[in-house]
Structure 1
Amino acid sequence: MSGPLGLSWRLLRGGGRRGLLGAGLTAVAVAVSTALLIFSVSANVAFQGRAEREAWRNPVAVGTAAVAVQAVHKDYVRDRTVTVVDLAVLKPGAAPPPGLDRLPAPGEVWFSPALAELARELPAGELAGRFPEKVAGTVGDEALVHPGELVAVRGQAPDSPIMTAAVAGDPRDGFPPTRVADFTGAPSPDAQAYQALALIATVLMAVPLLVFGGAAARLTVARRDQRLAALRLVGATPGQVVTMTVAEAMITAAAGAVAGTVLYGLLTPLLAGIEIGGGAWFAADLWPGVPYTLAVLGAVPLLVGLSAVVGLRRVVVSPLGVARRETPPAMRFVRIVALLAVLAVVPTLGAGSAAGVVAVVLGLAFLAINLAGPWVVGVIGRITAGTARGPARLLAGRRLVDDPKAAWRTVSGVAMTGFVAGFIGFLSPASDLLGDADPATLRVTVPAAQASRFTAEARERLTAAGVPARVEVTGKGEDKLLTVEVGRTAGDGGTESGGGSATGKPAAEKAATGKPTGEETVAEKSAGPGTGRADEAVIDRARTALDGLVPGRTATSAADEERFGVLLLKDVGTGTVVVLTVSFLVAVVSAGITAASSILDRRQTYALLRLAGTPLEVLNRARRAETLVPLAVMGGGSIVIGMFCAVPFSISSVNVGGMTILLICVTLGFAGVIGAGAASAPLLRSVTADPAPRPD
């Protein structure tokens, strides 16, 4: 290897202990950025994979050339959802759905592994009794959203009641009998909602990572500028300087990117345990695949190389100025104008905006904050130096004025985290937003002409199963609502009309509220005061007893109807923790690495100040002030900007829990930066112990 590339490689290897430490800091920064960036990309790929595996259950109707009839409905057991798919073959020999070796014949059922295990664990009257068919096989992973999903696929005859029932379908609850040409299906609305949320979360994670990765190229920048300026002064051309810089930066970044990829691979089993959408993940879901991995491995070193070239402007234009340590010209107010322009767009958005538009605006807000940050830090430095009443604050202020970009790199991680925390904390819905729906009142729609028969049969089934319950029919019109209040005294049978019940409270009112009234229930007597809830096992026995009462219709409760909303709120909370954890890791790692890098950049200055008699404690106080003063201003400002960007999408009052998360995030961010600065104190003591400091 010869020429500029060979010289760059030799300089990288021969930089001495501190030179290797600087290269190591850059490699660590790139490794962390790469690992977390792959994770943010994998999140989108994982949700897309889930949507594709679920699509076969969302049938697309065809008028002719149908090969099967497919019906889907949701059942429930132990507060978990069971997806039941009924198939009737119209043309033998058709390709089976994903995860099945063949189409099930009438009287056969296929269970997912988790459902098969649960059916063995629970008494037959609570789950297995709903599937009297012969268990003929296991549904494969390629047909499941997550490893613990409960799915049953049953074979039916084309003329069976369940395949001919006229049921109004809701994609969230299932689909009525549908003639299909294949089992390709279409993405469900729920899957699309999760994909949109994943895209926004990716922006909240990925943009700070890209900023951090780009900043990694500017670590130990002073040492590199001094060395390259010397080469320029002895005759190196601008092209040679740029080539050497890009080569050095990309060699270090490539090593860090590979290490980050390996690190992510090691963390994949741990990440797969995060439960979103009702369950954990298949390990393969969290690996983005070769194309995406290669794209990240190529993009990160390229980003670092470009950032290094941008930082070379002073060296190429004025190497003598670098050697003489002239203060660069002040940055312009246009940086603030860019931030204000982005914020002016935010009020035009709303809850109905497309996820892509929201992601773009959030990304621009991130970049605008990163652009405005150094300018604000410079202003803070002038104010700090002008109001200083001691040497520590004076040193801190002068340092902020001298190199605001370097100071911004130290606090940018927490500032970005503050934006994320402000945005998410303001939007986080309260866990009790949907209330506390009653799970013990089951309801099923029955034809009005057969209401009496279905009511009598429901009572017989529940009695045979040993389930205490009160059954009544309410409503008017072609369909009526059969209501089963599980846990009520068996002797209180209610009426078949819509007017009243044995307790005197209008049945329509009870159906609307979902709350049992009148005398104390069996469950209340056994569970003690304050409960008023039937046991899960009793409710599951009631579900099993009522299964198949009305072909194609499932007895559900108010809690079932709100199940997706409750799950989504839980997942939003989990996603909030994940995004803030990633942001927090970026902030702490960024603060620690840039603090160490800053000491290496200014080791000669620190050593000379120490030789001149400046106490080490004064230097440490100056470093803390140099970090904490801009951190307080920029961190607080970023939180406010994040909350401002969240206002158009807020659908409820401010959540106290979300604000608590925000407060915790801010506290941890400040503590992490302070801890990172303290961790680099031994390095400062080491560089100031050199009795004859010289530039690298």
Structure 2
Amino acid sequence: MSGLMGLTWRLLRGGGRRGLLGAVLTAIAVAVSTALLLFAVTANLAFQSRADREAWRNPVTATGKAVAIEAVHTDYVRDSAITVVDLAALKPGTAPPPGLDRFPVPGEVWFSPALAELTVSLPADQLAHRFPTKIGGTVGDEALVHPGELVAVRGQAPDSPLMTAPADGRPPGASVPSGAAIAPTKISGFTGEPTQTAEVYKALGLIASVLMVVPLLVFGGAAARLTVARRDQRLAALRLVGATPGQVVTMTVAEAVIIAFGGAVLGTVLYGLSIPLITGIEIAGGTWFVSDAWPGVLPVLAVLVAVPLLVGLSAVVGLRRVVVSPLGVAKRETPPAMRSVRVVALLAILAVVPTLGVGVGAGVIAVVLGLAFLAINLVGPWVIGLIGRITARTARRPARLLAGRRLMDDPRAAWRTVSGVAMTGFVAGFIGFLSPDSGLLGNANATDLHLSVPSSQVAEATAGARERLSAAGILAGIDVGGGEGGTKVLTASLQERDTETVDRARTALDGLVPGHGATLDADGELSNRLLGDIGTGTVTVLAVSFLVAIASAGITAASSILDRRQTYALLRLAGTPLEVLNRARRAETLIPLTVMGGGAIAIGVFCALPFALSAMNLTGAITLSVCVALGFAGVVGAGAASAPLLRSVTANPAPRPD
């Protein structure tokens, strides 16, 4: 075995300048795949970490002896949400919640760092007067969803009006959206449950990861087959001089794993360097802690092991011809055409799509999307082979004839060049179609503050609201409308709608109804923030997909030239102008790109139909248009960037004895 490894290492080092360039291209491809794979894995772990840090604010009713009472509601300042948690201990020595050094005593408040800074910077009548003047301490990071989150934890007495307020119709301990008011709940600890909003973000993160990870796995597998023609020729020669199939497989795996491991390490370093940029992405109301952007030692080690194994497996899969027919490889015989059964797999997956819908679990959707990705990757080479036959038969110019013959001869290599953009087309077709339009929810009322009031306290609350607003110098009309669950809605229609006046009015009305704050229609989290985050996620996923697509196109274009350098040299020796070869390369890329890119977009749109809220909106149409334009420009640019390499390998057209 040591002899085989030594021979593999010598062949890898002795491949010459162009052999080294091929190894570098493979390592770069693996590095890009590894970095983005770490990003996708980290995103899911980060959403889970956020859900865990937020869970203590969604209390679970005590089944045994209760140790504390917890109530939660959401307030607002400068149109930003403030999570206010009120706690009352039922027995001495109660353990504090996460992020606090001790349990808060009645009459004191603990601020998150961002809220503490805000209470100092804003006038007291806009924020600070809503909270006690006694500061207990600072809420730690382990209790915050994101670094800039506004959180206040107030200590209360168990018999205070706020801790004995009636429920608003929601059972204590029930799963609630982030930001919804939670009535006082007796608890036995701060374990809590994930909020509905946290579960939504986790599901969206899982689907987004599939949209990124599957193309990355395809790209990583394709990286193992870069410069495959050169390697197959070398291995076929070894088979013809007596190497056994097992020795050939061992050498192939060893070579692929050595290169891939180096690329995986490089990709991990690149990901580590990009962490400051990743933490700046705003999702769910804020940025990320550095700990969220680092997946941990075990996930990193798992990726460092999995990526080289995937590359080695992909390299072995392509060895069948070398092992079974080394003479055919050495003679450069055209491999047999692929069978149309590949199309059946894609059609079978698409037949399942109409059965999906909004109520289907995120795991099922992720599996179907992943299978659709893999089916497109399976069908791609077969379609390109068909395109090659049609192109060759209808060719009227030498460049088009050369392109058609190349597509027929090696459709897999042609697919590797355009697969990145085709996969990006699928992603764009899917999430571009689902991108919510900015006017989907209409324009929220921005002048009326609403306050939920128990029906038995309407008269008292109405008089108190008028008195408080008048004392603050705020002109507003007071009205009481219908509600639900034994409550009414008190509405204060402000005559002025500047931010300062709204915050002063919120402060004036604070505490009027224990456990409830005055809100605007525009304060709804799921109706505003979530739609904005879907747009941010769409841009992030497409940016990652484009990075993969353009890197894939550029690397495979250069690798293709190295694979065919002897063919290009012989064509130049026969008198073929260099411009004809370049036009053939462009046609060999753009023809399948047009067909497969358009087909992938159509499949993505079809997969999105069961989840569409309405017909295609302007945002989705613009997203698709930009995707198509950038995809074509990226592939054309990648092909143009490799033109000097073609000129270099054909500079001396004399046949090489390799």
Is the structural similarity TM-score above 0.5?
A: yes
Paired residue type of 1:168: D
Equivalent residue pairs, number? 650
Q: Partner of 2:528: helix, strand, or coil?
A: helix
Instruction: Report the CA distance between 1:44 and its aligned residue.
Output: 0.1
Paired residue type of 1:548: G
Q: Partner of 2:491: helix, strand, or coil?
A: strand
- Report the CA distance shift for 1:210/1:468 in structure 2 as closer, same or farther (over 3 A): same
Measured in 1, the distance between the counterparts of 2:265 and 2:462 equals: 67
1:542 is matched with which residue? 505
TM-score by length of 2: 0.97
- Report the CA distance shift for 1:316/1:475 in structure 2 as closer, same or farther (over 3 A): closer
Instruction: Report the CA distance between 1:654 and its aligned residue.
Output: 1.5
Measured in 2, the distance between the counterparts of 1:695 and 1:579 equals: 46
2:459 is matched with which residue? 452
- Report the CA distance shift for 1:450/1:154 in structure 2 as closer, same or farther (over 3 A): same
- Report the CA distance shift for 1:125/1:315 in structure 2 as closer, same or farther (over 3 A): same
Paired residue type of 1:9: W
Paired residue type of 2:555: I
Is contact 2:168–2:487 with CA below 8 Å preserved after alignment? Answer: no
Instruction: Report the CA distance between 1:475 and its aligned residue.
Output: 4.1
Instruction: Report the CA distance between 1:471 and its aligned residue.
Output: 1.4
Instruction: Report the CA distance between 1:450 and its aligned residue.
Output: 3.5
Instruction: Report the CA distance between 1:473 and its aligned residue.
Output: 2.6
2:367 is matched with which residue? 360
Measured in 1, the distance between the counterparts of 2:244 and 2:452 equals: 83
Measured in 1, the distance between the counterparts of 2:167 and 2:27 equals: 60
Measured in 1, the distance between the counterparts of 2:420 and 2:568 equals: 25
Q: Identity of counterpart residues, as a percentage? A: 74
Paired residue type of 1:558: D
Measured in 2, the distance between the counterparts of 1:272 and 1:361 equals: 30
Residue among 530, 538, 553 paired with 2:516: 553
Instruction: Report the CA distance between 1:668 and its aligned residue.
Output: 0.2
Paired residue type of 1:152: A
Measured in 1, the distance between the counterparts of 2:130 and 2:202 equals: 33
Measured in 1, the distance between the counterparts of 2:169 and 2:196 equals: 14
Paired residue type of 1:420: V
Is contact 2:212–2:545 with CA below 8 Å preserved after alignment? Answer: yes
2:412 is matched with which residue? 405
Measured in 2, the distance between the counterparts of 1:480 and 1:220 equals: 72
2:334 is matched with which residue? 327
Establish whether residue 483 from structure 1 lines up as the match of residue 445 from structure 2: no
Q: After TM superposition, list the pairs within 5 Å mapping 1:189-208 onto structure 2.
A: 189-208=196-215
1:65 is matched with which residue? 65
1:268 is matched with which residue? 275
Paired residue type of 1:564: L
Q: Deviations over 1:447-492 (max 9, x none)?
A: 44443322222111111111111112334995433211112xxxxx
Measured in 2, the distance between the counterparts of 1:695 and 1:164 equals: 90
Paired residue type of 1:330: A
Establish whether residue 30 from structure 1 lines up as the match of residue 30 from structure 2: yes
1:604 is matched with which residue? 566
Q: After TM superposition, list the pairs within 5 Å mapping 1:22-101 onto structure 2.
A: 22-101=22-101
Residue among 298, 301, 311 paired with 1:304: 311
Paired residue type of 1:374: P
TM-score by length of 1: 0.92
Instruction: Report the CA distance between 1:169 and its aligned residue.
Output: 5.9
Is contact 2:448–2:491 with CA below 8 Å preserved after alignment? Answer: yes
2:123 is matched with which residue? 123
2:441 is matched with which residue? 434
Is contact 2:384–2:414 with CA below 8 Å preserved after alignment? Answer: yes
Measured in 2, the distance between the counterparts of 1:445 and 1:365 equals: 48
Paired residue type of 1:451: V
Q: Partner of 1:570: helix, strand, or coil?
A: helix
Paired residue type of 1:398: R
- Report the CA distance shift for 1:63/1:604 in structure 2 as closer, same or farther (over 3 A): closer
Measured in 2, the distance between the counterparts of 1:225 and 1:240 equals: 14
Paired residue type of 1:48: Q
Q: After TM superposition, list the pairs within 5 Å mapping 1:171-186 onto structure 2.
A: 171-172=176-177, 173-186=180-193
Instruction: Report the CA distance between 1:133 and its aligned residue.
Output: 3.6
Instruction: Report the CA distance between 1:553 and its aligned residue.
Output: 2.0
Measured in 2, the distance between the counterparts of 1:594 and 1:450 equals: 72
Q: After TM superposition, list the pairs within 5 Å mapping 1:107-256 onto structure 2.
A: 107-168=107-168, 171-172=176-177, 173-256=180-263
Gaps of 5+ in 1: 488-522, 524-533
Measured in 2, the distance between the counterparts of 1:451 and 1:228 equals: 86
Is contact 1:85–1:153 with CA below 8 Å preserved after alignment? Answer: yes
Is contact 1:34–1:260 with CA below 8 Å preserved after alignment? Answer: yes
Residue among 474, 477, 480 paired with 2:481: 474
Measured in 2, the distance between the counterparts of 1:39 and 1:552 equals: 40
Is contact 2:522–2:528 with CA below 8 Å preserved after alignment? Answer: no
Instruction: Report the CA distance between 1:389 and its aligned residue.
Output: 0.3
1:12 is matched with which residue? 12
- Report the CA distance shift for 1:255/1:188 in structure 2 as closer, same or farther (over 3 A): same
Q: Deviations over 1:341-396 (max 9, x none)?
A: 11111111111110000000000000000000000000000000000001000000
Is contact 1:429–1:652 with CA below 8 Å preserved after alignment? Answer: no
1:2 is matched with which residue? 2
Is contact 1:232–1:238 with CA below 8 Å preserved after alignment? Answer: yes
Measured in 2, the distance between the counterparts of 1:670 and 1:237 equals: 44
1:382 is matched with which residue? 389
Measured in 1, the distance between the counterparts of 2:657 and 2:592 equals: 28
Is contact 2:63–2:188 with CA below 8 Å preserved after alignment? Answer: no
- Report the CA distance shift for 1:224/1:622 in structure 2 as closer, same or farther (over 3 A): same
Instruction: Report the CA distance between 1:691 and its aligned residue.
Output: 3.8
Q: Partner of 2:383: helix, strand, or coil?
A: helix
Gaps of 5+ in 2: 171-175
Paired residue type of 2:42: S
Q: Partner of 1:564: helix, strand, or coil?
A: coil
User: Which one is further off, 256-265 or 422-431?
Assistant: 422-431
Residue among 621, 625, 646 paired with 2:608: 646
RMSD over equivalenced CA pairs, Å: 1.2
- Report the CA distance shift for 1:447/1:398 in structure 2 as closer, same or farther (over 3 A): closer
Paired residue type of 1:192: E
Measured in 1, the distance between the counterparts of 2:474 and 2:509 equals: 11
1:517 is matched with which residue? none
Paired residue type of 2:305: G
Measured in 2, the distance between the counterparts of 1:548 and 1:44 equals: 38
Paired residue type of 2:64: T
Measured in 2, the distance between the counterparts of 1:180 and 1:206 equals: 41
Is contact 2:181–2:515 with CA below 8 Å preserved after alignment? Answer: no
Q: Partner of 2:407: helix, strand, or coil?
A: helix
2:173 is matched with which residue? none
Q: Partner of 2:82: helix, strand, or coil?
A: strand
Q: Partner of 1:100: helix, strand, or coil?
A: coil
Is contact 1:213–1:300 with CA below 8 Å preserved after alignment? Answer: yes
Instruction: Report the CA distance between 1:577 and its aligned residue.
Output: 0.3
Q: Partner of 1:153: helix, strand, or coil?
A: strand
Paired residue type of 2:91: K
